[in-house]
Amino acid sequence: MVKQKLVSESEVVMTELVLPNDTNPLNNLMGGRLMHWMDIVAAIAAQKHSNRIVVTAAADSISFQHPIALGNVVTLKAQVTRSFNSSMEVFIEVWAEDIPANKKVKTHRAFFTFVAVDQNGRPIEVPSVKPSNPEEEELYAGALRRRQLRLVLAKRMSPNDAVELKSIFNFDEPDKTAKKDK
Ligand SMILES: CC(C)(COP(=O)(O)OP(=O)(O)OC[C@H]1O[C@@H](n2cnc3c(N)ncnc32)[C@H](O)[C@@H]1OP(=O)(O)O)[C@@H](O)C(=O)NCCC(=O)NCCS
């Protein structure tokens, strides 16, 4: 197995056209359809990194602040930010484009976690990730804290073991800004 791979080796760009069957009664893209596309583009990125079968283990909270209209072209870009043992964090960015109006806006970003598995569905080791520019390095560094938050919320890690996550909140320090209870 290759021991380490560049972030760029897992990059995937997928383009979709919002058709009537993808929309809600307001003629905007349904959230579930967008999540389906995100899952696919991210799974392909995880497969490219690991050269394995992958399964979705987690999808971080996605907020739907920008509706995407019928007829828009949706571009989804995914790349693996960091891997651990068998799991990989994938960063997904989404843009919506109204080509006749010449307008393109970034609408969503999300982090999904995939686990590489063998033919029996058992987790299997994956290559590590080598970030090669400041943006990739920032995503790589943050991936450890996001993993800890995910695992704590899934009750797979004790908050006490989430050392890097705790360090950004200073949980161990008394909160001097908090108002005292009366
Ligand atoms: C994901 C899955 C393979 C994990 O299997 P498991 O027996 O719990 O294995 P482990 O405890 O050894 O965990 C394996 C990896 O998954 C990660 N993982 C498990 N649950 C996770 C979660 N909720 N969030 C993030 N990562 C998770 C672990 O951190 C571990 O990562 P690491 O190897 O990099 O340290 C298993 O739960 C599964 O098959 N789930 C169903 C996947 C699926 O069907 N997805 C489609 C959803 S409809």
Q: What is the pLDDT of residues 11-37, one digit of tens each?
A: 999 999 999 999 999 999 999 999 999
Residue-level pLDDT at 65: 81
DSSP single-letter state for residue 125: -
Q: What is the pLDDT of residues 158-170, one digit of tens each?
A: 999 999 898 877 6
Q: Which atom of ligand 1 is nearest to the CA of 153?
A: 23
CA-based end-to-end distance of the chain:
61
pLDDT tens, the chain, 182 aa long? 779 999 999 999 999 999 999 999 999 999 999 999 999 999 999 999 999 999 999 999 888 889 999 999 999 999 999 999 999 999 999 999 999 999 999 999 999 999 999 999 999 999 999 999 999 999 999 999 999 999 999 999 999 999 989 887 765 555 555 555 55
Residue-level pLDDT at 2: 79
Beta strand 103-117 with 53-59: parallel, antiparallel or unpaired? antiparallel
Q: Are 126 and 10 in contact (CB under 8 A)?
A: no
CATH fold, domain 4-131, is: Thiol Ester Dehydrase; Chain A (3.10.129)
Please tell me the residue having the least CA distance from ligand 1 atom 19.
Answer: 57
Residue ranges per domain, the chain?
4-131
Strand partners of residue 5 = 129
Determine the residue of 115, 146, 151 to mutate for testing ligand 1's pocket, defined as the one with the most ligand atoms within 8 A of the Cβ atom.
Answer: 115
**Which residues line ligand 1 at a C-beta cut-off of 6 Å?**
55-58, 84-87, 113, 115, 117, 121, 123, 150-151, 154, 156
Output the six-digit token pair for 135.
């943006």
Q: Which atom of ligand 1 is nearest to the CA of 57?
A: 1
Q: For residue 103, report the distance from its CA to the centre of ligand 1, in Å.
A: 39
Residue-level pLDDT at 63: 81
